[in-house]
Structure 1
């Protein structure tokens, strides 16, 4: 008899289906358009995500809504991180939303963060690489759209603050697929021209997608390799791009970039007027002082005849002083000459020669005495050494009846065992040597 089939209730079936979905499907990312959005008093959100071919019901609970950075509405294109589940009460397949963000923005933001981290690690944002901005630029280059509001704002500020600064425009697209390459080419062209002291690279405000050209790696590297200092002026003050980090200076807006690079013409004019007043006052004082000095010199000016008479008297006075000084100098020279004659008499060559001869005789006598004394000392030392040498001389030993015995190789024999019977030996005596043959060795 067959077993009856297992029968499940609807609740059991839906529960098993929910458990199966939640167990076997991990968190997934889903992109779609919001419709049928409902925000009941419970604080939860219920809506449908759809694309061109299908739709799915979604629920986002209050504890996750508090972490959402924007408030969605019907028609919004969103990106959701969610769990796949099933509502048991109605058997509806649904998604439980854990995180919700605008589609496109989140992906671009992640791409922005990844590129920023990588370029920072390579040193493209290093402060040590950033160049200072010129205080008074000779020419400013602008890399931007020729029809954009940013260019008009920059030119307006430059014209208002300091219109004397010439401007070179490098037109380029600032939005779209080809914009990044055009911006990089414009920066390279500006460096090749080398006509500008500084470059403003930027555009007006917009969404993250609109500003994305300035987040491209090619633009960041073009800014980094630029020999000309670059001011990044992209969007509004709250907008940050990769170009801002790579640039030598980041301006919050294009207008702010123009203000940073251009001096205030009105303040300079006021300063020039102040310096003009100071210069005029200085010149006036100097002219007044020169006038007073001229008056004083005019009063001191005398007639040429008086000057000649004064110079004649001075010449007479100086002539008299010169004659007096010459007489005094001649008298002094005569005294010096007499003194030298007396000194010469004391050092006459004949007297000096006689003194040197006497000194030579004294030295000769001292030398002979010293040599005789040295000779006696040397002879005594030689006798002492001879007696000492004779005391230890082998010949003196031989004279007392001893002999020096050597083998055929002339090696001295000190022991009887150093030879053998039949060997020829030599015995040296005081007055000669004996050739002997050993007959027998007699040990002591």
Structure 2
């Protein structure tokens, strides 16, 4: 910025530069302030809160030692859940500027919350803890992102910068990838429901194999739809893998924790899912060169084999003559072999016939027959002698057995008495009154009932 020096003498002279107008001065100061300060956070107490009919908020932020004027326009405060009140201690996120009409420097606020942990931050932490306990952040449920997606779905605002950034990256890296936009609000009270419905619609549509859900940067209030529980559950239950691309690098939403993959920005998400067409083309060219070289080597090998085969190829007539000559030679060799075999077999037959005559079994058969008759006669005589001895021995044993047999005792008038169980009764005490007994004689038996027992 150009600088000027001013003299106490206000009259124009040739040595004195032109004086700045108040408007120009305020313009340059405003430019200097806005370029010197990036977005800052300031804490203080609200006072002089004015909510204009236009929807803009004007207030003073003060502490014990100083105060500063602030403005918050309708397009920023309409999404706040917090309503500014005098006396509240707050933290504002703002840019330093100057109101040229009065020459007052001021803060242009884009976000305001109660100091300490703000209500939105408290809600964010509470929901994060709840979903963590429910397992929605568990890596085990993360679905793999396809390496080469066939169809991309984008869930964002159709008028926002996010969809433009995604398409710009895809146009550069992989323009052939089909993209379907599922339009939805990404800011405001209805945004969370619309985002959840868009995710469900994409799953029902079935064309996409990966989804990018997100928007560009903004305040915590702007990004709040992506911190809603309904969006978190929609991402978790999606059958299609989802990449969350919400805000800038420093912005982290609940959707980032639930999604299958987080990208720092929408552009980064497009980079992640799109293969680089230049690398693919280079790879295809390398493969093409390798195929051409392989084809050339194979062609040369086939040419060499063809030439070698041609060198060995002979005229069919020459081959037939050679085969005919070989056939005649084989026929002659076969005849000689057959004749030689017949002569050798005839000689062997004559030798065997002579050996047979010398080794005739007839004399041995006659001698064996005589020996058999002699042994047979001796065997019969021996068996008859043994049989007589056994008959005599059997007669003696029978006489001895008969002498001690109880049947012989029965023949002499005795009897055998048995009880019901067939046991021989030898003692009068073993007889049971009114019981049955069996009496065995030499030629039969009879049953009796005991009516009286007489002991002696």
Q: TM-score range by the shorter chain?
A: 0.5 to 0.7
Q: Which residue of the partner structure matches residue 207 of structure 1?
A: 219
How far is the alpha carbon of 1:391 from its aligned partner?
7.3
1:244 aligns to 2:256 (yes or no)? yes
How far 1:149 sits from its partner (Å)? 1.3
Equivalent position of 1:111 in the other structure: 127
Aligned-residue offset at 1:175: 2.0
Q: Aligned to 2:63, what secondary structure does the other structure show?
A: strand
Cα deviation 1:238-268 (Å, max 9, x = unaligned): 3333323332222222112111111111122
1:168 is paired with a residue whose SS is: strand
- 165-174 or 264-273, larger mean C-alpha shift: 264-273
Match of 1:185 in 2: 197
Deviates more, 1:109-118 or 1:334-343: 334-343
SS of the aligned residue for 1:177 comes to coil
Partner in structure 2 of residue 224 of structure 1: 236
**TM-score relative to the length of structure 2:** 0.58
**Counterparts in 2 of 1:211 and 1:320: CA distance versus 1, 3 Å:** same
Give matches, 1:41-120, under 5 Å: 77-78=113-114, 100-118=116-134, 120=135
CA contact (8 A) 2:46 2:62 kept: no
Equivalent residue for 2:287, pick from 249, 266, 275 = 275
Does the CA contact (< 8 Å) of 1:33 and 1:76 recur in 2?
A: no
Mapped to 2, the partners of 1:137 and 1:321 lie a distance apart of 73
Deviations along 1:293-315, one digit per CA (max 9) or x if unpaired, are: 6666666677x5xx634642443
Is this contact kept in 2: 1:421–1:440, CA < 8 A? no
* CA 1:376–1:190: 2 relative to 1, 3 Å: farther
Q: How far apart, CA to CA, are the structure 2 residues paired with 1:323 and 1:169? A: 92
**What displacement does 1:102 show?**
2.9
- The one-character-per-residue Cα deviations of 1:364-396 (angstroms, maximum 9, x if unpaired) are x79x98999998999799879867965774334
**2:63 pairs with 1:37:** yes
User: 2:170 corresponds to which residue?
Assistant: 158
2:209 aligned with 1:197: yes
The 1:394/1:239 distance shift into structure 2, 3 A limit, reads farther
CA distance in 2, matches of 1:430, 1:299: 120
Which stretch of structure 1 is more off in the superposition, 145-154 or 198-207? 198-207
Deviations 1:17-70 (A, max 9, x none): xxxxxxxxxxxxxxx958652379xxxxxxxxxx9888599xxxxxxxxxxxxx
- Asked if 2 retains the 8 angstrom alpha-carbon contact of 1:425 and 1:438, the reply is no
Secondary structure of 2:117 counterpart: strand
CA distance in 1, matches of 2:128, 2:436: 114
1:159 positional shift: 0.9
- What is the aligned partner in structure 2 of residue 318 from structure 1? 327
The change in CA–CA distance for 1:411 and 1:206 in structure 2 (over 3 A counts) is: same
Greater Cα shift, 196-205 or 149-158: 196-205
Please give the alpha-carbon distance, in whole angstroms, between the structure 2 residues aligned to 1:407 and 1:291.
Answer: 116
Q: Does 1:328 align with 2:337?
A: yes
2:149 alignment partner in structure 1? 137
Most deviating of 376-385 and 171-180: 376-385
**What root-mean-square deviation, in Å, do the aligned CA atoms of Structure 1 and Structure 2 show?**
5.4
Structure 1 CA distance for aligned equivalents of residues 157 and 190 of structure 2 = 13
Report if the CA contact (8 A) 2:156-2:213 is conserved: yes
Whether the 8 Å contact between 1:33 and 1:78 is mirrored in structure 2 is: no
- Normalised to the residue count of structure 1, the TM-score between the two structures is 0.59
Pairs within 5 Å for 1:164-179? 164-179=176-191
Q: Flag the 1:167–1:415 CA change in 2: closer, same or farther, 3 A.
A: same
